[in-house]
């Protein structure tokens, strides 16, 4: 049972410890068993001095555990005893359900649920102060300001007057399991200092947010919606963003990677969107991946960000080396150090490139172009492959049929040799630089030419740039020589 003030001690009679009189002293401390005691009141004690019972209030007074006589005591005086009385009225404890609301004389216990409406000014309330309760007097409007409105037929409102009043709910191990910061208009879960409208703080690796839906239908659920509810949308509105944030070694907060969605066109019926992924690259934001209605872009900032696709057994099935501006298939580097844009590594037992057609009619498999147009092609038909170079008469001028082919042909020096890389195989052919002065269009490159390149360590190196020969370019010279020989033979036969 709660009491106003100190709880009465019912029937608790005590005799204080013997007190030695000090000459010229009126105040003494009352103890029982060497522990200070406080009487219920000056009227709840019997005091005998020099064999005479003293009158409370006039012969002595008390303050807490101190008794003060009306005059200083002298040597020879004797405090015979101090007898403390408990509460002489045995109030008892009411039995259950024996106190009616009529006895309480207040409307707070008549079943009213709207505290703001049921409270009258100057009513007394028992407030929880963490130490058993405190009786306080307030006004109905002020209590309603801090607590709010309770109504079983409507929403329950806290801080209905919108003051700087916080709301906090503790759990077993968290003092701020739920915290509403009234001054900052923010809600914290696990924190009393939310930095956003909703701020969730955890201290372990358990899941902090779970969205669960138990619907058994085929519709989408659960759903997480980011809604940019703008009254005046325009092209370029950012619809939402998700940041992945952490500290660096200097204790600074860094958005290491984030994704954002942008409405690139908000016109009714032609809406377009762009989803971008940006991340830190050498301390700066880099556009890593972009998806839009028109295209998918990797490395939109043209930075040194590679793109790699693995297959089941090959780690570099497709690889774009951003630094060298090269594309690799089945490798991530060039064996020869070539500066070509496309490198395909062919495993010995497999075909490097297979071009297939769904019909047997003659058609282009590969065409070659430059600013002048198509300059060559590789064609296939039902049974063969044709390698074409441009030869249309409309592309040519200064056509001359009268030239000495035999003399030029005799300048060629056919030879037999083997390539250094294939020492056991002897072949027929030419040395490129020996042909270049006779049929220059058959030769590519210059004698003893070198080229520079940057190796994998970033160092500049040089290597030979070998000449090549297209021996088919010798055919016109051979044909013209045969014609000249045939004419000479005919002349000799007719002589």
Average pLDDT over residues 252-274: 96
Predicted confidence (pLDDT) at residue 115 exceeds the cutoff of 90? no
Of 284-288, 403-407, 448-452, 457-461, give the lowest mean pLDDT range: 457-461
Predicted confidence (pLDDT) at residue 348 exceeds the cutoff of 80? no
pTM of the model: 0.59
The mean pLDDT of the chain is 86
Percent of the chain with pLDDT over 90: 71
Predicted confidence (pLDDT) at residue 360 exceeds the cutoff of 50? yes
Contact assessment for residue 187 and residue 194, using Cβ atoms and an 8 Å cutoff: yes
What pLDDT, on a 0 to 100 scale, did the predictor assign at position 456?
Answer: 75
**Torsion angle defined by CA atoms of residues 136, 142, 147 and 151, in that order, rounded to the nearest 10 degrees:** 110
Of 210-214, 313-317, 344-348, give the lowest mean pLDDT range: 344-348
Local confidence band at 135 (pLDDT 50, 70, 90 cut-offs): low
DSSP string, 362-390: -EEEEEEEETTEEEEEEEE-SS-EEEEE-
Copy the structure tokens of residue 366: 């590969």
Determine the Cα–Cα distance for residues 368 and 372; give it in Å rounded to an integer.
11
What pLDDT, on a 0 to 100 scale, did the predictor assign at position 157?
Answer: 81
What pLDDT, on a 0 to 100 scale, did the predictor assign at position 319?
Answer: 96
Of 13-27, 138-152, 278-292, give the lowest mean pLDDT range: 138-152
- Cis ω on the peptide bond leading into residue 222 (within 30° of 0)? yes
Higher pLDDT pick, 437 / 138: 437
Average pLDDT over residues 312-328: 93
- DSSP β-ladder status, 284-292 and 272-281: antiparallel
What are the start-end ranges of the H helices in 37-184?
Answer: 101-104, 115-118, 140-147
Average pLDDT over residues 71-92: 80
Average pLDDT over residues 177-181: 95
Local confidence band at 261 (pLDDT 50, 70, 90 cut-offs): very high
Local confidence band at 125 (pLDDT 50, 70, 90 cut-offs): low
């Amino acid at each position: 049972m709660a009491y106003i003030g100190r709880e009465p001690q019912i029937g608790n009679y005590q005799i204080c410890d013997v007190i030695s009189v000090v000459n010229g002293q009126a105040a003494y401390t009352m103890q029982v068993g060497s522990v200070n005691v406080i009487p219920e009141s000056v009227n709840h004690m019997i005091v005998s001095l020099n064999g005479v019972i003293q009158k409370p209030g006039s012969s002595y007074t008390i303050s807490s555990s101190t008794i003060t006589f009306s005059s200083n005591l002298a040597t020879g005086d004797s405090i015979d005893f101090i007898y403390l009385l408990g509460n002489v009225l045995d109030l008892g404890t009411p039995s259950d359900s024996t106190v009616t609301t009529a006895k309480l004389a207040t409307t707070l216990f008549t079943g009213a649920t709207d505290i703001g409406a049921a409270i009258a000014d100057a009513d007394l309330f028992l407030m929880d102060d963490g130490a058993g309760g405190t009786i306080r007097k307030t006004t109905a409007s002020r209590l309603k300001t801090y607590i709010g409105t309770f109504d079983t037929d409507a929403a329950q409102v806290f801080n209905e007057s919108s003051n700087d009043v916080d709301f906090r709910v503790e759990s077993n191990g968290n003092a701020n399991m739920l915290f509403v910061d009234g001054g900052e208009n923010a809600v914290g879960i696990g924190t009393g200092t939310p930095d956003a409208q909703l701020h969730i703080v955890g201290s372990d690796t358990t899941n902090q947010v779970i969205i669960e839906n138990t619907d058994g239908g085929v519709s989408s659920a659960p759903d997480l919606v980011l809604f940019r509810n703008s009254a005046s949308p325009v092209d370029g509105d950012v619809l939402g963003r998700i940041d992945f944030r952490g500290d660096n070694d200097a204790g600074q907060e860094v958005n290491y990677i984030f994704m954002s969605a942008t409405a690139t066109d908000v016109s009714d019926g032609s809406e377009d969107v762009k989803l971008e992924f940006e991340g830190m690259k050498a301390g700066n934001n880099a556009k890593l991946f972009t998806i839009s209605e028109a295209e998918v872009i990797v490395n939109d900032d043209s930075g040194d960000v590679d793109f790699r696709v693995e297959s089941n057994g090959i780690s570099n099935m497709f690889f774009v080396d951003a630094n060298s501006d090269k594309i690799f298939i089945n490798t991530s580097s060039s064996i020869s150090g070539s500066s070509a844009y496309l490198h395909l590594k062919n495993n010995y037992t497999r075909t490097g490139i297979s071009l297939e057609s769904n019909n047997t009619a003659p058609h282009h498999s590969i065409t070659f172009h430059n600013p002048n147009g198509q300059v060559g092609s590789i064609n296939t038909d039902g049974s063969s492959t044709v390698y074409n170079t441009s030869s249309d008469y409309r592309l040519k001028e200064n056509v001359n049929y009268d030239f000495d082919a035999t003399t030029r042909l005799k300048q060629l020096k056919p030879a037999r040799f083997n390539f250094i890389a294939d020492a056991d195989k002897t072949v027929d052919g030419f040395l490129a630089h020996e042909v270049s002065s006779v049929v220059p269009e058959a030769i590519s490159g210059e004698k003893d030419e070198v080229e520079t390149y940057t190796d994998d360590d970033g160092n500049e190196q040089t290597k030979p740039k070998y000449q090549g020969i297209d021996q088919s370019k010798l055919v016109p010279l051979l044909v013209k020589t045969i014609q000249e020989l045939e004419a000479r033979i005919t002349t000799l036969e007719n002589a």
